[in-house]
Amino acid sequence: MSDFGWPLLLQLLALGSVAGFMAGLLGIGGGMMMVPVMTWIFGGLGVEAGMAVKMSIATSMATIVFTSLSSVRAHHARGAVRWDLLRGLAPGIVGGGLLTGAGVFAALEGQGLALFFAAFIGFSALQMLRDRKPRASRQMPGPLGQLGVGGFIGFISGLLGAGGAFLSVPFMTWCNVPIRQAVGTSAALGFPIAVANTAGYLIAGRSLAPALPGTFGYLYLPALAIIAAASVSLAPLGARVAHRTDTGRLKRVFAAMLFGLAAYMAWQSQRG
């Protein structure tokens, strides 16, 4: 395994900067970008393919604890966070996240998680391109419905290492929540998603031998620190740009990139 050095530092800084900016801009993209790239980085450091996937998912999720706080401050300052929706969705998110992080995640093979990741981000890219408009009469579900939706978002997010916006933004816009409020509220939802799942990963991986120096369970702490610092710095900029720009064209470019990342993770899932 390679020692930590300048090339790795620069790779992680660049990854955190781009992921933070995209997360602030679209409310989506942090984990979807970080997991494939970190999987490639960890593989280059000599980590076994399946473990590289799991470390990437867990480390990506942990960075969202910090990125979400930075992003939500910028969105809240512009009145774009629906705190009533946050209160309705958060309890289910916490339950679903703990179920994944502390139980299901450790039981699954890394290659299976890579294939699941590839399928889901490919689907998300397709939905982003379709940009379907909801019926004008559709509204958010009641308390029980929001509890169930939150549980599903928290559970799936934990399998992907993503902040949940790839599900919560389309769902809220499908329920006629304005797009800027959906993005801002999803940024806020990223915090309970990340905290619950990261706690679960720590519980599940507490007895694992370190795959790299600086690893605790599934978390690679040097990458967590560097990516979090870079993401926190760029997420507010992405949020400011989101409130000034028509992001339609950028969404199409981002969707094309997601298809490429999905193909890479599908290939990764076939490695032994």
Q: What is the distance between the alpha carbons of residues 198 and 143, in angstroms, rounded to a whole number? A: 26
The phi, psi pair for 117, rounded to 5°, reads -60, -45
The phi, psi pair for 19, rounded to 5°, reads -65, -40
Over residues 171-196, the pLDDT tens digits come to: 888 888 887 788 788 888 888 888 88
Give the chain's count of helices (H) and strands (E). 11, 2
Residue 30's pLDDT is what?
64
Q: Output DSSP code: residue 135.
A: P
Q: What is the distance between the alpha carbons of residues 187 and 71, in angstroms, rounded to a whole number? A: 6
**Cut 0.85: pTM above it:** no
Q: How far is CA 233 from CA 23, 71, 75, in A?
A: 12, 9, 15
Q: What is the distance between the alpha carbons of residues 77 and 212, in angstroms, rounded to a whole number? A: 40
Residue 28's pLDDT is what?
58
User: Per residue of the chain (272 residues), what is the pLDDT tens digit?
Assistant: 445 678 888 988 988 888 778 766 765 556 677 888 888 899 888 898 889 889 999 998 888 888 777 777 777 877 878 999 989 999 999 999 888 887 788 777 777 887 887 887 787 777 767 766 656 567 888 889 999 999 999 898 888 777 777 778 778 888 888 877 887 888 888 888 888 888 888 888 888 888 888 898 899 999 999 988 888 787 777 777 766 766 666 667 667 767 877 787 787 677 65
E strand residue ranges, 1-156: none
Q: Cβ of 178: how many Cβ atoms within 10 Å?
A: 12
Q: Cβ of 192: how many Cβ atoms within 10 Å?
A: 22
Residue 1's pLDDT is what?
45
